[in-house]
Amino acid sequence: MNDWLVRTNLRAGPRNLLRRELPPLEARLFALVLEQMDGLVAWTRARGVPLVVLVVPFKLQLLHREQFEGPRWDLHTPNRVIAGYCRARGLPCLDLLDRYETLPVEAVRRQYYARDDHWTPDGHAFAAAALAEVVAPLVDGRRRGDARAGGRAGSDSMLDVKPFVDS
């Protein structure tokens, strides 16, 4: 049934994002998300605020890999789309799927609640530590006034910009 719903563009969902070839509906939804990201990129660049994209894998990608074996599946499809987007725009991109794949399954299991797809406190700590490795050099660069980090000399905070207001 799911295949018919996908072919007729009546169903989207995380499982379908893991297909080697994105179905038309998922491809359109992804295009809309990336279009929205363009607005965020433009906003942050206009204000000199560094932007790091964090790619959070679906629990399906990590703990239900056996469901996605075979030629029509690719667990890295959505991650590759986002990484390509970031690469084309010169954005730092941290893909946690790569990090999670180095962990034993039981360690990954502790990162997510059993009954939903949200992180446990361990999952948040894992992501925060990984993100800190990427963000710390940007914060340090801003403090030094390094233009590559979007910094201004004497800036003590990454948050010394006006809040976003959609006009």
Could you tell me if residue 159 is inside a domain? no
In a domain? residue 142: yes
Per-residue pLDDT reduced to its tens digit, 27-85: 898 899 999 999 999 999 999 888 999 999 988 899 888 888 899 999 899 999 999 99
pTM of the prediction? 0.76
In a domain, 156, yes or no: no
- Model confidence at 152, pLDDT cuts 50, 70, 90, reads very low
Average pLDDT over residues 4-16: 64
> 81-115, pLDDT tens digit by residue?
999 999 999 999 999 999 999 999 999 999 999 98
- CATH code where residue 134 lies: 3.40.50
pLDDT value for 9: 55
Can you give the residue range of the structural domain that contains 58?
Answer: 2-149
Is residue 20 a contact partner of residue 80, using CB atoms and an 8 Å limit? no
Domain count, the chain: 1
Mean pLDDT, rounded, for 142-152: 56
154 lies in a domain?
A: no
What's the pLDDT at 108?
Answer: 94
Model confidence pLDDT, tens digit, residues 112-135: 999 888 999 999 999 999 999 999
**Within a domain: residue 62?**
yes
What was the pLDDT predicted at 80?
92
pLDDT of residue 126: 95
The answer to the question of residue 61 being in a domain is: yes
Q: Is residue 90 part of a domain?
A: yes
Evaluate whether residue 164 is within a structural domain. Answer: no
